[in-house]
Amino acid sequence: MKKTDLSQYDPGDYTPGAGFLQRGLWFITNIVFFKCPFSTCSRLKRFLLRMFGAKAGTGLVIKPSVNIKHPWRLEIGNHVWIGEAVWIDNLDDVVIGNNCCISQGAMLLCGNHNYTRSSFDLITGKIILEEGTWIGAQSIVAPGITCHSHSVLTAGSLANRDLEAFSIYQGNPAVKVKDRIIQ
């Protein structure tokens, strides 16, 4: 069996976007206030996100056990719900519009690796959740994806392509199953 040689690993133009000290302070803050399974006030969490460079609107609800990689690469609109055990692995920018819901255990993954290279070079892509988007429980949004206005990704689904506005997607990979009609 051929051994994988990672000595030629190329992270591309990726940088974490903050210095060592800021990343270290965020690491501790994330563990104490966000990843903690005990409920902490969402206002405090919003304040802390802003202190670390995030843009966070009003009416933000962040439930316990949420993991956010880099708050300085995060923009959250007004009246957003982030459920328990959500992982925002934002190696690139993540923009969450107004009135969005990210349900329990969902993952927004901005990074992947180039499987065609033996060094598994890093590939990143921005994720955008436009207004009214709902990401179902245990769902995954892949790097570079835009979930257009009022789209829905149902529980346990994988979005590896952009989601059309006012549409409901299901499966792995997610496919459109019907239109979303809001009354």
- In angstroms, rounded to a whole number, what is the distance separating the alpha carbons of residues 131 and 154? 17
53 assigned to some structural domain = yes
7 assigned to some structural domain = no
What is the extent of the structural domain holding 24? 19-177
145 assigned to some structural domain = yes
1 assigned to some structural domain = no
Check: CB of residue 138 under 8 Å from CB of residue 156.
yes
Check: CB of residue 162 under 8 Å from CB of residue 146.
yes
| Number of domains the chain is built from | 1
Dump pLDDT digits (tens) for 92-146. Answer: 999 999 999 999 999 999 999 888 988 888 999 999 999 999 999 999 999 999 9
40 assigned to some structural domain = yes
155 assigned to some structural domain = yes
10 assigned to some structural domain = no
81 assigned to some structural domain = yes
Least confident window among 28-32, 40-44, 84-88, 136-140 = 40-44
Beta bridge partners of 29: none
Beta bridge partners of 88: 68, 108
Residues 6 or more apart in contact with residue 33 via CB below 8 angstroms: 40, 44, 45, 48
Q: What is the CATH number of the domain that holds 155?
A: 2.160.10.10
Q: What's the pLDDT score for residue 5?
A: 55
3-state secondary structure of 94: strand
pLDDT tops 90 at residue 2: no
Tokens standing for 144? 């570079």
